[in-house]
Amino acid sequence: MGASLSLPLLEAMIPASTAIAATPAKAVKRLGFVFMPMGADLSRWTPKSGETLDELSPILKSLEPVKNHVTAFSNLELQPAYPGSHATSNSAFLSAARAKLTESNDYYLGTTVDQVAARQMGQETALPSLELAMDMMQTVGQCDNGYACVYQNNLSWSSPTTPLPSEAHPRLVFEKLFGEGGTKAERQAALRKRSSLLDFIKEDMTSLKRELGASDRGRVDTFLESIREVERRIQRSEESVAENPQSDLDRPVGVPASYAEHARLMFDLQLLALQGDVTRVISFQLARETSNRTYPETGVSDPHHPLSHHGNDPAKIKRMSKINAFHVSLFAEFLEKLQSTEEGGHSILDQSLFLYGSGIGNPNVHDHTNLPILLAGGGASGIKGNRHIQYEKATPLANLHLTLLDRAGVKVDQFGDSDGLVTL
């Protein structure tokens, strides 16, 4: 068995008679969805300026370098998430469907927007879609007000009865993208035989680069160095596990002890997957609903879930907002990397659409209206950023999902409780 490696788009792959730039109708080829649990402090989330992001709010401040590629939405809602729970916040976020109230295995939801896209967009890639998370606490039974835990564990569903488990372990994600596959034992044996995927294919890459022009050689070198750096970070994380005395029930063994480093690693794996065209559809759960994870990086010692039920205490709300801002800052770093990675005359960010947000607005009351929602990318197809779109009346989040499918070339008449498209 050998190893295979997907390469980024090179000039050598494009016929001389073909224009490098994609046509506007086909420029957006990738869709990503990033889920933030337990809503936000909307007073510190909502942009201060009426129609633009010229004056960013405290929670969104980290988006400053990429705000020209970002749109914020106010007054989007998830009616199918009511009567209101953490479980339905997670389950409805990508499905816009009402979860069946059950504590057993007769659960029923709906096909999520990422999987609707993957059925068409995933036909030409090694992986139709990629499902990622930060937590792997796959509890069973009843988790929230009579709802089975499956609704909180899984963000993506390929059918109303088929949830798709997410992977939180960087090594397993890396091997899924670039490794040889096989069973866990086979993967471990392969790792013992070779210290690096790149070392394994070194001769092949050297031969390939002899046939490429200077521009393509530079692009390949940059891509390979990115892969090698991710490998180094994964290896360092695995080596440090035995030295780390802290236990974290939400963190699988072998991942970085720092949440921020773990998240950055997972975002970098997404960049590599898009850059190598391994997949064009990604979902990422920053944490599960009701997560009691703490974020020492923010200076806040409170667990997230209890803090989200702040009882309108100004001090607790302020501490919660620091967690919200921390999550956004990690997404902002990812967007900067997407923007700085060029492909075919555009950045990967310009040729992608990433939705970021939560299925809860005000977490203190499990409210599913006025959701904190951001959209990034799409510049290659004419989507402008630096905007704040505010609706006079509550508008289904499903309208935005339907629009993202449309912009990606996936044509469906309706999605969830949608009643129209969003003007972007």
Closest CA to 414 of 113, 63, 56, 187: 113
Handedness of CA 241, 242, 246, 247 (dihedral sign): positive
Express each pLDDT in 369-413 by its tens digit: 999 999 999 999 889 999 999 999 999 999 999 999 999 999 999
359-376 residues labelled b (16+ CB within 10 A) or e (exposed) = bbbbbbebbbbbbbbbbb
Please state the length of the chain: 424
Closest CA to 339 of 286, 381, 378: 378
Express each pLDDT in 318-368 by its tens digit: 999 999 999 999 999 999 999 999 887 889 999 999 999 999 999 999 999
Q: Strands 346-347, 147-148: parallel, antiparallel or unpaired by DSSP?
A: unpaired
Phi, psi torsion values for 377, nearest 5 degrees: 100, -165
pLDDT of residue 251: 42
Q: CB neighbours of 359 closer than 8 A, spacing ≥ 6? A: 35, 78, 81, 88, 89, 90, 92, 93, 368, 371
CA dihedral of residues 266, 267, 269, 274 (deg, nearest 10): 150
pLDDT of residue 230: 65
Distance CA 424, CA 110 (A): 26
The CATH number of domain 24-166+259-407 is 3.40.720:
yes
Phi, psi torsion values for 137, nearest 5 degrees: -85, 80
User: pTM, whole model, 2 decimals?
Assistant: 0.81
Residues of the chain with pLDDT under 70: 1-28, 137-142, 179-203, 209, 215, 218-219, 223, 226, 229-254
pLDDT of residue 19: 41
**Contact yes or no for 278/127 (Cβ under 8 A):** yes
pLDDT of residue 385: 96
pLDDT of residue 250: 43
